[in-house]
Structure 1
């Protein structure tokens, strides 16, 4: 008896299920659109120019001639090294030049006399000896002048100046410290902050996809390519940047390519070393816009959506190349005229019969019923499945 009751109950449930009305869903018709191709990349700010200040001569630091944090122009004095020995070297080199000039004058006169007396008062050997002595005197003078030039340069190097325009760091030495020529430790650093550069890191596989889209004619590249930044606190940086140099080498550790952009930085909000997110607008692409709310991703990252086909719900795998406003930019998985289920898809199963109601998205990405052509009053709610 219990078995019979169970069979009757199961049969009644199956009959009731067969008699359930189709699920009502909201659908959006797919249209091919020109969509901005924007990619988001991680990046880091780097100084457009930065100079580590090191001495070119050795000695005792006698003066620090700048204030840390001040703006320096190229050529601004920063440090002074004791110049006593270098001043003496200049005097010695000047004296050597004078002596070399006198020796050259004497050797030239001797050569001229020997040449005039050749064949009578002097032999050919005497003339050749005098000529050799004159050339040696010329070489000595040239050497003396070169030594004087080096001595004057080293004397000038005792005053260390900034090679670039920028902001000066705190000095790494004090008055009285001994420094050496070309030492490894910098005396200070001068950094140019406006403009500032940003290095962005793009996976090489994405670059291949972009190249494929360009070759197929799907993507039209903008000229110039511009980028906006999002700071670490989530705010958008107001200035826009331009591509300075595109990368041409893939990192073996990260598999990414580094491209450099340049930004104005009047307020010094961007500092070298900051982590940033960049939104790069490559151009426009022919694609479909599928709302974020109408899709799901599995553990592998595969994007899927429900599509109404001949009155039945079918799950589709989609290929996207990024996001635009409240939608994914889909390049594969749907075609023109396909009806993507945007609302009421909770609990759907593949092959389930559905009743379709046209819907659309407002500016905030909220589903709204399509206003009828007869200008009838649209429904107040946006959920066509709410009547279930």
Structure 2
């Protein structure tokens, strides 16, 4: 037998790449009911006064469909909650033509090659890397299906069959209603809850105190500070929250303020959690070198699987914990996040956006779920989930 006879065969080269925008109506906007002075504009967006950030009134996302020469399909999804047309334009015009003919078994090499395409044109973050994240997830899904292995197996092996979930957000109008909702989650078996400072209308410390009284001493409580504070302000605030046994404080300073983040991390007695906006290890490394945080929160809708895995390895090298972030997803990049997280060590929790995840389970086929405080890692090749007809009905232009 010759050497060529024993060499691995290519896995289903890429024949076609497509992207699609998904928009699904919500009865209550993300983070809860509108506050005084908040409104939905003519384009369907609202600005939260508490953190000055823009959100869609519906759940929006971008799906990526990669078809192999065999007809096999790999699915991806990326962060597309604001101006998703920018993401689809990048995928359709820049990335798709370059991907045709590539082998999905070269997933990490493909990510590097696509990243290099815009090296001198603002490639470092933003919509370009978001677009790349969706493509990357679809490439890994196609790779896994061709190899009949899950993404976790492709990344070296699944360490976890389930992952502890923390409840993210209490989207009710009043503090009493939020405390009641927290108690409901604890009764269902959840042992960690994060509240959003952007909608703490009665005050952040008052909300922390009320929640601690409501859920008892054994539940981990976290706060998302939504980049609202200067470093000294954040230190004073977090110190006031510490007596209530705060588990972590998230995003106290503006994302670009590395010096401020380091000051806060050094000035408080609980872990600082950062990273939902990071897209590559090139953003993570200087922040770890500056000792800005104890917990990393990569969002796979920004990073894709390739960079998520590398960020996870970097976290381990710096002896940090990793608690993945989860935002608006139709279920595909949530499956990718659970798969990639299952291959990592030092993962005490994964974020659980219950108002999004539970409903959107109706849009995918597979055994992914979250019950009694734990995620079920989807089984099956690739991501382990597939979009179903219920989701595809909300997709623009899908044939």
On whether the aligned pair clears a TM of 0.5, the verdict is no
Normalising by structure 2, report the TM-score.
0.20
The structure with the largest helix share of the pair is 2
Normalising by structure 1, report the TM-score.
0.21
Give the structure, 1 or 2, with the largest relative contact order (CA under 8 Å, sep 6 or more): 1
Higher-Rg structure is: 1
